[in-house]
């Protein structure tokens, strides 16, 4: 069974596993259709995009497949992002946000985007401009909900000063191989690398404000950079994951998802696989609730410490 979480404080409930679409540009049309139908079959109807994924190809392929499969638009939640001009700059100007959203709508072949995220903090952000862009898109029914990605608490507070809409989600890198969001809290004020606060306390901030954290690259860009199955440095983690995988009859990668979902902040994991069979495997993590001891054992086996 797929578990749902409330998206921010919107009253909209979405699967705790979102289907990331960054890696689908290489799929054939048939593979994209199978990818989407498998996800829907598993109960995963929340899809994550960005204007820049595959240079726009991901949104385009997805839109085409949804149309040719005759999927009811209302039955899926489509999230996309804007604000990056690859290799050139980050751009939260009013013009860029509106133009990017218009292009995403066209490529996705839809009248509205369910959730639009600001992809990475723009150092030159003028919150008033963002507010104007969001109001323009919201008033025209082009975007229903807004959020951010890779942002710290004060960056969000700055945006909130002018934006008249809830910022319902923040997409951050998080997982067993990249768990600074939890380790910096547990190692507060210690003289070691684990106490370094890289994200400004975003985990507690999100819980306080009911903002959904979406964990991107949950397997660290691959199955722990492709080497968890062979690399000696992952041996202790591999052993623990295998034990837990056996107990719950799920795959190792699903254990990595379950570890994220066990955290009481209402997180969504954003899956990254482009394979339909792996979507099926990962979906099984949705309602696995690891014990406290299992959660900590995995955390420690991944190389973290308890001070
Ligand atoms: N907001 C941001 O800044 C940001 C940044 C990066 C990503 N994202 C979002 O997060 C999503 C996930 O990121 P990600 O793709 O880096 O996530 P990931 O889950 O850490 O990595 C997915 C990669 O792992 C590979 N993989 C190898 N073994 C696997 C296994 N057993 N199970 C599942 N995958 C396995 C997949 O290959 P196969 O495809 O062959 O399965 C795929 O290439 C993206 O699609 C995107 O929507 C957001």
Calpha distance 286→17 (Å, rounded)? 7
- Asked whether residue 227 is assigned to any structural domain, the reply reads yes
Residue 307 included in any domain? no
In this structure, the residue with its CA closest to atom 48 of ligand 1 is 216
Q: Look at residue 259 and tell me whether its pLDDT is greater than 90.
A: yes
What's the rounded mean pLDDT across residues 196-219?
Answer: 95
Cross-strand pairs, 19: 47, 271
pLDDT, tens digit (0-9, with 9 covering 90-100), for 173-188:
999 989 999 999 999 9
Question: Which atom of ligand 1 lies at the shortest distance from residue 50's CA?
Answer: 47
> Taking residues 128-139, what's their average pLDDT?
98
Average pLDDT on 85-101 reads 97
- Are 49 and 81 spatial neighbours (Cβ–Cβ below 8 Å)? yes
Gap from CA of 181 to ligand 1 centroid (Å): 19
Tokens 């409930």 label which residue? 13
* pLDDT score for 222: 62
C-beta of 7 in contact with ligand 1 (< 6 A):
no
**Is residue 306 assigned to a domain?**
no
Separation of alpha carbons 219 and 71, rounded Å: 29
3-state secondary structure of 290: coil
CA–CA dist 107, 59 (Å, integer)? 6
Summarize the confidence of residues 141-153 as an average pLDDT.
98
What is the predicted pLDDT for the residue at 230?
77
Q: Within a domain: residue 17?
A: yes
pLDDT band at 53 (very low <50, low <70, confident <90, very high): very high
- Model confidence at 226, pLDDT cuts 50, 70, 90, reads low
- Binding site membership of 216 for ligand 1 (Cβ less than 6 Å): yes
Which DSSP symbol is given to 211? P
Which atom of ligand 1 is nearest to 252's Cα? Answer: 31
**Average pLDDT score, the chain:** 95
Does residue 43 fall inside a structural domain? yes
Kindly state if the Cβ of 275 falls inside 6 Å of ligand 1. yes
Is residue 8 a contact partner of residue 212, using CB atoms and an 8 Å limit? yes
List the residue whose alpha carbon is closest to atom 33 of ligand 1.
273
* pLDDT for the residue 225: 60
Q: Is residue 288 part of a domain?
A: yes
Angstrom distance (rounded) from CA 279 to CA 37:
10
| Mean pLDDT (whole number) for 237-266 | 95
> Residue with structure tokens 């067993």?
176
- The arithmetic mean of pLDDT across residues 238-254, rounded, is 95
The percent of residues above 90 in pLDDT, for the chain, comes to: 89
C-alpha 124 to ligand 1 mean position (Å): 29
In the chain, % of residues over pLDDT 70: 98
Does any ligand 1 atom lie closer than 6 A to the CB of residue 268? no
Task: Between 193 and 298, name the one with better pLDDT.
Answer: 298
Predicted local distance difference test score (pLDDT) of residue 266: 85
Strand stretches in 1-100, DSSP E: 4-6, 13-15, 17-20, 46-48, 77-82, 84-85, 89-90
Whole-angstrom distance, CA of residue 31 vs CA of residue 42 = 16
2 and 43 in contact (C-beta within 8 Å)? yes
**What is the C-alpha separation between 200 and 198, in angstroms, rounded?**
6
Check if the beta carbon of residue 46 is closer than 8 Å to that of residue 171: no
Q: Give mean pLDDT, residues 278-305.
A: 96
Report yes or no on 119 lying in a domain. yes
What does the pLDDT read at residue 262?
A: 98
Q: Which of 6-20, 42-56, 187-201, 283-297 has the lowest mean pLDDT?
A: 187-201
Residue 281 counted as domain residue: yes
Residues 6 or more apart whose Cβ sits within 8 Å of residue 307:
186, 187, 190, 192, 194, 195
| Dist. CA 223 → ligand 1 center (Å) | 8
The whole-number pLDDT of residue 232 equals 80
Distance 301 CA to ligand 1 centre (A): 22
List, by residue number, the catalytic residues: 53
What pLDDT is stored for residue 221 in this prediction?
63
According to the model, what pLDDT value does residue 6 have? 98
Q: Across residues 217-234, what is the average pLDDT?
A: 74
What is the CATH number for 97?
3.20.20.100
The rounded Å distance from CA 19 to ligand 1 centre is 10
Q: Is 224 in the pocket of ligand 1 (CB under 6 A)?
A: no
Supply the range of the domain harboring residue 81: 4-301
Residues in a beta bridge with 216 = 173
Token pair belonging to 11: 């009253």
**23 Cα nearest atom in ligand 1:** 45
How many domains, in total, are found in the chain?
1
Residue nearest to atom 15 of ligand 1 (CA): 272
């Amino acid at each position: 069974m797929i578990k749902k979480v409330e998206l921010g404080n919107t009253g909209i409930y979405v699967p705790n596993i979102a289907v990331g679409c960054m890696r689908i540009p290489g799929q054939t049309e048939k593979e994209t259709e199978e990818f989407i139908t498998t996800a829907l079959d598993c109960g995963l109807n929340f899809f994550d995009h960005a204007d820049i994924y595959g240079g726009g190809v991901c949104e385009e392929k997805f839109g085409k497949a949804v149309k040719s499969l005759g999927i009811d638009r209302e039955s899926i939640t489509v999230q996309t992002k804007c604000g990056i001009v690859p290799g050139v700059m980050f751009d939260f100007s009013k013009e860029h946000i509106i133009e990017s959203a218009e292009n995403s709508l066209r490529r996705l072949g839809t009248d509205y985007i369910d959730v639009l995220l600001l992809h990475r903090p723009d150092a030159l952000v003028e919150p008033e401009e963002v507010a104007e862009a969001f109001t323009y898109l919201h008033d025209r029914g082009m975007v229903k909900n807004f959020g951010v990605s890779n942002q710290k608490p004060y960056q969000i507070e700055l945006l909130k000063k002018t934006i008249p809409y809830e910022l319902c989600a923040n997409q951050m890198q998080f997982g067993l191989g990249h768990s600074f969001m939890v380790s910096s809290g547990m190692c507060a004020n210690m003289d070691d690398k684990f106490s370094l606060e890289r994200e400004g306390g975003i985990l507690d901030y999100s819980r306080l404000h009911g903002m959904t954290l979406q964990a991107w690259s949950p397997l660290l860009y691959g199955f722990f950079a492709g080497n968890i199955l062979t690399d000696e440095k992952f041996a202790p983690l591999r052993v623990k994951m295998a034990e837990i995988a056996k107990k719950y009859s799920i795959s190792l990668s699903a254990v990595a998802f379950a570890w994220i979902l066990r955290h009481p902040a209402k997180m969504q994991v954003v899956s990254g696989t482009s394979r339909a069979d792996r979507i099926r495997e990962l979906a099984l993590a949705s309602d696995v609730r690891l014990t406290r001891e299992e959660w900590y054992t995995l955390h420690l086996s991944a190389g973290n410490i308890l001070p």
